Amino acid sequence: MHLVVWSRHLCAEAEEIGVNVADVLAGTQVESADLSNPDFLVSARDEITMVRNLLRAAPDEPLVAARVGTRASLTNFGLLGLAVMSCGSFREMIAVGLQFFALTSLHVIFDVEESDGWCDISISAAHLPLDVRDFFIERDSVGILSNVAPFATSVIAEFIEEAHVDYVGTRESVEPILAGLPARVASITCGADRTCIRFPAELLDEPLPRADQYTLAACIGHCEELLERRAVRTGLSSAVRTMLLERQSDMPALEQTASAFRMHPRTLRRQLAIEQTSYRELIEETRATLAADLLSRVGLTVAQTAQHLGYSDPGSFTRAFKRWHGVTPSRYRK
């Protein structure tokens, strides 16, 4: 579950380009009033649905992901944003960001590698449906760059001319961010297979201008408490997901699951609603994740995957898979 901030930015961008917010929210459990509630949590499934709705409604807006990314600011992320700005170095900033990654509401996966005096930070989204991967990589990459670069300009300036960038998006989408840097990067390859920035590893330990260890320590304490509260809030849905994964070939009915948790079915429904999800949605999310893994990682055929997940025929599974991931299972396997 993610904070509503990114969904709010997505809908604001939609309005600006003439797309009705109701059309963006169609097929989700999010209502327009929820966008202004800072405590509202949005499921990954609903976020993906919103992105698909926007891309479908505005197919001629190639920069929409980047523009959504530039709408975000570190202040959107409360004490985590303040913690990031208070870090003493990029190395510490990366460590804090990864420790509290669940609070960022980002969808991408980060990988940091140091070797032979260089640091590679790569961003991937292979776990996301094919039709929205580039959107989330562009949105999150631009969002990070546009926020970190301004307050670390003096440090970046010394190393930027040695940096090499591979980027899945277009030059046009990242150019506004590059233009704001104190110098040009050594090279940039757009339309690449992955997004990665390579720079001298010594940059990681250069002191940042706004470092404040006292503020950082206080913010980290609050972030830890927030993670704990979030875990409690989403505890039941997480436990239900675990049960569904354990029973993936024969997923139990709601009544059976309620019995396993020693509660009335109505209580289970009510508790899941408090966590802003439903039993049906959890089953759909679990099947969508399992289907992608069985096809791409395990290597099962479409028919085998359909049978494993309890579908009576491959046709009904194919329709469900396309609803989840935007493409047919046979295309997803390629």
Dist CA 199 CA 213 (whole Å): 26
pLDDT at 57: 95
Question: Which residue(s) pair with 164 in the sheet?
Answer: 187, 198
Domains defined along the chain, listed by start: 1-61 (no CATH), 66-232 (no CATH), 234-333 (1.10.10.60)
pLDDT at 104: 83
pLDDT at 225: 82
Query: What single-letter amino acid sits at 290?
Result: L
pLDDT at 162: 94
Dist CA 145 CA 122 (whole Å): 13
pLDDT at 230: 66
pLDDT at 207: 94
Task: State the helix-helix crossing angle for 265-274 and 279-293, rounded to 10 degrees.
Answer: 70
Q: What is the tally of helices (H) and strands (E) in the chain? A: 17, 7
pLDDT at 232: 57
Q: Which residues of the chain have pLDDT under 50?
A: none
